[in-house]
């Protein structure tokens, strides 16, 4: 819980997510696994009324998942 409230943690997540999205070492398919769901949730919130989670919260969860996964898979990226 302490990690979720840490500005340092979220700063790291979004900096690394940006670098990983721009990295040529990370395949485009892996990048799309982050970008497509985030964009769909931002564009289609009315189609998903059963999800009472804010758009930014969903993006933050996706960014955290994507960053953790890509840092384990491509530590040099």
The pLDDT tens digits along the chain (77 residues) read 566 677 888 888 889 999 999 999 999 999 999 999 888 888 776 666 666 667 778 888 889 999 999 999 988 77
Dihedral angle of Cα 60, 65, 66, 72, to the nearest 10 degrees? 140
Largest CA distance in the chain: 40
* Predicted TM-score (pTM) of this structure: 0.70
């Amino acid at each position: 819980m302490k990690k979720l409230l840490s500005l340092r943690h979220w700063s790291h997540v979004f900096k690394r997510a940006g670098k990983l999205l721009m990295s040529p070492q990370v395949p485009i398919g892996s990048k799309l696994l982050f970008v497509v769901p985030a964009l769909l949730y931002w564009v289609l919130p009315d189609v998903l009324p059963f999800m009472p989670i804010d758009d930014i919260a969903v993006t933050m969860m996706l960014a955290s998942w994507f960053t953790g996964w890509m840092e384990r898979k491509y530590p040099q990226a």
